[in-house]
Structures are given as C-alpha cells and as structure tokens.
Amino acid sequence: MRTLRLIWVGWKFHVKSLTLSGFFIVTSVIQPIIFASLAYLLFRIGAREGTLLYVALGAGMMGIWSSTLFGSGGAIQWQRWQGTLEYCIAVPPPLLLVIVPLTLATATIGLYSLTATLVWGRLFFDVPLDVAHPVAFVVALPVTVVGLGLLGLILASTFVLYRNANALSNLLEYPVWLVTGLLVSLSLLPGWVGPISWALAPTWGVNALREAAIAGNPWPEIGMCLALGAVYLVIGHFALQHFERLAREQATLSLT
Amino acid sequence: MTNARVFFVGGYLSYRALFNWMHWSYYIPTMLGAPVFQVLFFAYMGRFAEVENDEFFVVGNAVQLSAMAGIYGMAMTVGGERWTQTLSQLMATPANRLPLFLGRALPLIANGIITSAFAFTVGWLLLDVEIAASQIPALAVVVAASAFACTSLGLVVGAIGLRVRDVFFLANLVVYALVLFCGVNIPLESLPNWMETVSRGLPLTHGIEAARAIADGASLAEVDHLVWTELGIGACYAAAAFGLFKLFEFEGRRRASFESI
C-alpha cells in the first residue's frame, strides 16, 4: 500500500512539474502537431489508400516516445543538476520506487501528444474519431503508457552512465519512430528491423491502439506491452542498482 | 582591426565554448547521427504514402539540416551566456555588436554545410540517390546560401534570447516550423495557400527549390534568382536581428534582466 502511495504521489508531482516545462510542451504538443500535419498532408496527396486515424495515432505515439526519451533519458541527470540526487538515494524507499514514478510521468505527458494530434486532426483535417472498440482503447492507452514508462526506466538508468545523455536522446528519436512503425509500415523496412521492433514497447502500443480504434483484436498487443514492461522493470532494476553502486563507490552523486 | 579580431577570434572562441558540440560524443550523435535517421524516416514515409521519390526527400531534408546548427547554435550562444551568467559581462564590453554576433554565426554556417553534405552522402549511400558530380559545386553554393539564411534566422532567435528566458523553446519551434512550411517534405504546391505564402518569406524555401532543380540537372545560372532570393531573405533576417539585438540590449539594461534564468 505504501509502495502504491509513493508511486502515485511521485507520479502526480512529476506530471505537474513536467507540465510547467516549456520544453515538454513543445515536445509533447507542438512537435506532434507539426509532424501530424506533415503526415496528414503527405497522406492526402499520396496515392496510398488508408485512414487518417492510422496516421493520427502514429503521430501521437511519436510524441509519447519523444517525451519518454527526453524526460526519462535525462531523469537522473536532472536530479543531479538540481542537487536532489543524494536525497533520492538517501531516502528509505529503494531508488527504483523514486525513479519509476518519474519515468511513468514522462510517458504520461505524452498523452498530451495523442490528444493534441487527434483533436488537431479532427478540427483541421476531418480525421474520423470513431473508435471501433472503445473499452479496448481505454485499456490500451494506460498499458501503452506504462510500457513506455518502464522502457524509460532503462533509459534513465543507462543514459546516466553516458556523459552526454542528451546527445543519445537526440540520436534515438527518429530511429525508434521509424523501426516501431509509427508512421511507416514495417513491411517496407529491411527484414532485420523486425526483431528490433518486437523488443520495443511503442511497436505493440501503437498496434494495440490501432487495432482497438480501426477494428481488430488489440488484446495480444496489450499483453505484449505488459510483458515487455515487466522485462524492462527487471532490467531497469539491475541497471539502477549498478548505477547506484558505481555512484557511491566513485562519489559521483553530486557531480554536475 | 579590432572589429576583425572580435569577428574572427571572438567567433572562434564562442564556437569552442559550445563545449558539448566540440566533444565528439555530442557532435557525432547530434550533428551527424540524427540527420541520418531524419533523412531515412522521411524517405520511407514518402515511400509509404506514395508521394514523390527518394531524391525529393533526400534533397529537402539535406538542405533543411543546414538550418540545425545555425538556429540551435545561435540560440545556445546567447542562451548559454545567460545560463552561465556571463551575459552581463558580454553586454558590458565596448565591442561592436555587429562583428560580435556575426562572428559567432560564421562557424555555425560552416557547421551547417558539413551536416548538409553528410546528409547528401547518406542519401547516396543508403538510398541510392545519385547526384551528378558536375552538379555538386552548384549544390554547394545553394547549401551555403541556405545555411547563411538559416543562421540569420538563428540570429533573430538569439536576439530574442536577450529578452526571453527560455530561448530553446523558441529555437525548437522555429526549426519545426521550417520543416512544415518550407517544402522540405511536401511539395509547395500541395500546401494550403496561406502556408505557401508564409513559406515564401522564410529561409530554406527557395534554397530547397533551387537544390531540387540542380539535382534534376539545372545549372546554377538557371536557378540564380532563387539563390539571390534566399540570400536576400537571409540579409533581411540578419538586419532584423541586428535591430533586435540593439533593442533588447537596451531593454535588458533597463529591466536588469540579463541575469534572469
């Protein structure tokens, strides 16, 4: 119970805090709207038959990935710059329970993206917002956010070992958009991309949302998203332990 | 002589002071790695939507990437001074503001050209987009003109950085707006009329148009009106930036806002 309360309070605090950040507003609202507009215009003039809702969901998911990538990738470094990392580690609860709410919050902020791209699409591009399986859609959304948030835990605990975590975030934005099939069908990409995409939660998350919205069976994708989240949690736990041990040994907690 | 020193030495030192950029572990992923994937992402998106061909996306994005260093770099040179609390000292110097800030822009133009050239190379290696060797000098001129125009827009962003606290917000916004409006990934004629009108006043639009014509075999003489327009737009933004630097320097002194973070 105390664990759940800690996660809840931490998540709420970080969602509020990130909402006040201009950078995150650009990343999670304006950038997805711009990419969604690009995609709507491209698919309008293109020869491919298809639904704009497919594009809208992909563009929204791009924003969820961006906010997770930049938010979680720099999560520990931020705490370090703000001088709060020592406190995060010194408090009685394990570091994992302090960082997970933050990474979940960065993925949650991405929901602004999905909302923004859907509303934008509806208002200016006549994107139909008819969801075939509303219940499945409502389930798929938080599951996707949790999947990405836990992937964010791995980013948070590994990027911190790299001096320029921000550069790594810059590098990984487009490739993940590409290999998870957010706006490009995976069938167009080389075969070796497939296994990479299967290991990434955004692939299953966006498929779950699309299956739920455009008619299909989203439950296998929802299950895969949850299973991957559990794997990320285990990996993130060990990576975080490794970081904490190194930081204590080398006395680098307050190193800015 | 002093102005030349401020321009060259000051510009060089300022570029070196972008410590992050100077380190290979930051420069390669950000300035070379990300552009590779940007080119691939849009080329594949074009294939999926069945719009244009790979060359269209490679040329558009490669020229657009010349904007990245100019806009983010200028935002960082002013925003960075504010962050490190050295903006007041900079503003207290008697140095002429024109060479002071133009000197900072010069290395970024060169950086933009390098990034763009790398993106063209990636397009050739990974997407088989071939541009005749005889067209490369003309293409280089167009990219240089676009890099200049975008860095001038970056100067405007930097100038606004004297007034606002979070200039990076604005820099991101400007870069994304260029991607959307300037025909980087969407043919200009397919944009709504008002967007096309706006795009005509932005850097990149004419540069990309000229670069696409050259990639299709046109000579520099055939597109010189586009290149001159691009340079003219760049000059207008540079002039506007100079005026804004003056204005916001005055405002910053009056409001004592150079040190606010």
**How many angstroms from the chain centroid is the CA of residue B68?**
5
* C-beta separation of A172 from A123 below 8 A: no
Task: Count how many Cα atoms sit within 13 Å of the Cα of residue A13 in the half-sphere of its side chain.
Answer: 11
A170 and B47: CB-CB below 8 Å? Answer: no
Q: Which of A229, A211, A231 is nearest to A221 (CA)?
A: A211
Whose structure tokens read 């200016």?
A: A124
**3 state DSSP class of B84:** coil
Inside any domain, residue B245 = yes
Tell me the average pLDDT of chain B: 86
Q: What does the alpha-carbon distance between residue A149 and residue A68 come to, in Å, rounded to a whole number?
A: 7
Instruction: Give strand ranges (E) for A156-236.
Output: none
Separation of first and last alpha carbons in chain A? 35
Query: For residue range B116-164, what is the model confidence (pLDDT) as tens digits?
Result: 999 999 999 999 888 889 999 999 999 999 999 999 999 899 888 888 7
Q: Which of B93, B16, B72 is nearest to B249 (CA)?
A: B93
Whole-number pLDDT of residue B24: 74
Whole-number pLDDT of residue A256: 57
Whole-number pLDDT of residue B39: 93
Give the pLDDT band (50/70/90) at residue B197. very high
* Mean pLDDT confidence for B225-241: 94
Inside any domain, residue B79 = yes
**3 state DSSP class of A97:** helix
Give the pLDDT band (50/70/90) at residue B203. very high
Query: For residue range B47-93, what is the model confidence (pLDDT) as tens digits?
Result: 998 888 899 999 999 999 988 888 888 888 877 777 777 777 777 78
- In chain B, how many domains are there? 1
Mutate to test the interface with B, among A29, A44, A67, A178 (most CBs of B within 10 A): A178
* Mean pLDDT confidence for B179-184: 92
B46 and A47: CB-CB below 8 Å? Answer: no
Biggest CA pair distance of chain A: 59
Inside any domain, residue B248 = yes
Distance between A144 CA and the closest CA of chain B, angstroms: 23
Whole-number pLDDT of residue B21: 55
Distance between B4 CA and the closest CA of chain A, angstroms: 34
For B151, the token pair is 């860095």
For A196, the token pair is 């990479």
Whole-number pLDDT of residue A2: 83
Does residue B126 belong to the interface with chain A, where contact is any CB pair within 8 Å?
A: no
Q: What does the alpha-carbon distance between residue B27 and residue A144 come to, in Å, rounded to a whole number?
A: 32
Instruction: Look at residue B220 and tell me whether its pLDDT is greater than 80.
Output: yes
pTM above 0.80, yes or no: yes
Whole-number pLDDT of residue B83: 72
Whole-number pLDDT of residue A229: 94
B40 and A34: CB-CB below 8 Å? Answer: no
For residue A172, the chain B residue with the least C-alpha distance is B34
Does residue A138 belong to the interface with chain B, where contact is any CB pair within 8 Å?
A: no
A42 and B177: CB-CB below 8 Å? Answer: no
Whole-number pLDDT of residue B18: 65
Whole-number pLDDT of residue B22: 61
Contact list, B51 vs chain A (CB under 8 Å): 42, 45-47
Inside any domain, residue B220 = yes
Whole-number pLDDT of residue B64: 93
B33 and A171: CB-CB below 8 Å? Answer: yes
Domain range for B128: 2-254
Closest partner residue to B173 (CB to CB) among A30, A167, A184 is: A30
* C-beta separation of B54 from B125 below 8 A: no
Does residue A163 belong to the interface with chain B, where contact is any CB pair within 8 Å?
A: yes
Q: Which of A64, A65, A55 is nearest to A213 (CA)?
A: A55
Print pLDDT tens along chain A (256 aa): 788 898 899 899 988 988 887 777 777 788 889 988 998 888 888 877 667 888 889 988 998 898 888 888 877 777 877 888 888 888 888 888 888 898 899 888 888 888 999 999 999 888 888 888 999 999 999 999 999 989 988 888 887 776 667 777 878 889 999 999 998 989 999 999 999 999 999 999 999 999 999 878 999 999 999 999 999 999 999 988 888 888 888 877 766 5
**How many angstroms from the chain centroid is the CA of residue B22?**
18
Inside any domain, residue B259 = no
Contact list, B38 vs chain A (CB under 8 Å): 174
